[in-house]
Amino acid sequence: MDHKTKQLWADISLIVVTAFWGTTFVIIKNILANIEPFSFLAFRFLLSAFFLLPFLLQKEGFSLRGIVFGSIAGFFLWLGYILQTIGLMYTSAANSGFITGLAVVMVPVLSSILNKRLITRGVVTGTLLSFLGLFIMSFDLKAGFNFGDVLTLAGALFFSMQIVSVERFSPDFPATSLTLGQIATVGILSLPAAFWLETPIKPYPVGVYYAVIFTAIFATVLAFLVQSKAQQFTSASHVALIFTLEPVFALLFAVLFGGESLEVKQGIGAFFILAGMLAAEFLDQYFQKSGEIQKK
């Protein structure tokens, strides 16, 4: 299988992952009335780490250094979740979704600096289109810009650093070890926050347990395993663009299963996000072929 085919399958796998993350918006929204956010994060990620342990028994599945380097990416991921969650206390959900999506702009810049290579024209075009789509789809002009937005922006920076870190580490370590380092770190660091700010040990409605198990398996273990493996074959900039589909999938599932209605601006925003993904994919191929023809 050549590199282009591997990249195509990596991108398709990441789209499936993003669809799973999109389903969690409806699920988590429905259960947060019964479980507090840090408790949910702690239970979800610690259970995920437990489910991941059997994968380490596979050949070349365990690497202590991989777990250590994965914990670095996990620390960035945890900071992103913490700042995003606290930021939601002071800003609207719409602003939070838009600002978190700004990772699509941050990732190419960080990756370019770290890897000392220029950002391609396709990625620049795709990033701008996706940014416009996120703005149209999510930003709440009436809410303005406030302290919660600043915290969420910092969270978006740390989410970006997680993506770039995985890009840097994934070629050198097994995906299972990198994934365990990430999710165990988020779970372990979330637990003190849960005990300090919340009451995690108490009886919960049965729906909470189902939600924790579903998100632990599909939206955490499988999702981060796929990300760690896929980033061996695709760039961090591609990953960030694909992840902008998360609000699109969230909107789709909210309309289909959450009883929400589709607004015109959401449809327009989703169109620009999809256009951004396609532009990043096909413009780079076009420019590459044009360059090859000119050389001939």
Q: Domain boundaries in the chain?
A: 3-295
> Do the beta carbons of residue 110 and residue 243 sit within 8 Å?
no
Dihedral Cα 252, 283, 280, 168, nearest 10 deg: 150
CA–CA separation, 173 and 153 (whole Å): 30
**End-to-end Cα, the chain, rounded Å:** 27
295 has pLDDT over 70: no
143 has pLDDT over 70: no
pLDDT for res 140 = 66
The reported pTM is 0.83
Residue with tokens 């999710």: 183
pLDDT for res 157 = 94
pLDDT for res 135 = 84
SS3 assignment for 6-72:
HHHHHHHHHHHHHHHHHHHHHHHHHHCCCCCHHHHHHHHHHHHHHHHHHHHHCCCCCCHHHHHHHHH
270 has pLDDT over 80: yes
For 31-47, b/e burial (b = at least 16 CB within 10 A) is: beeebbbbbbbbbbbbb
The one-letter code for the residue type at 65 is R
pLDDT for res 212 = 93
Per-residue tokens: 45: 């990620």
pLDDT tens-digit map of 30-74: 787 898 988 999 999 999 999 998 887 776 667 889 999 999 999
pLDDT for res 66 = 92
Question: Does residue 230 or residue 258 have the better pLDDT?
Answer: 230
pLDDT tens-digit map of 8-39: 888 889 999 888 888 787 787 778 789 898 89
263 has pLDDT over 70: yes
Average pLDDT over residues 107-128: 86
pLDDT for res 145 = 67
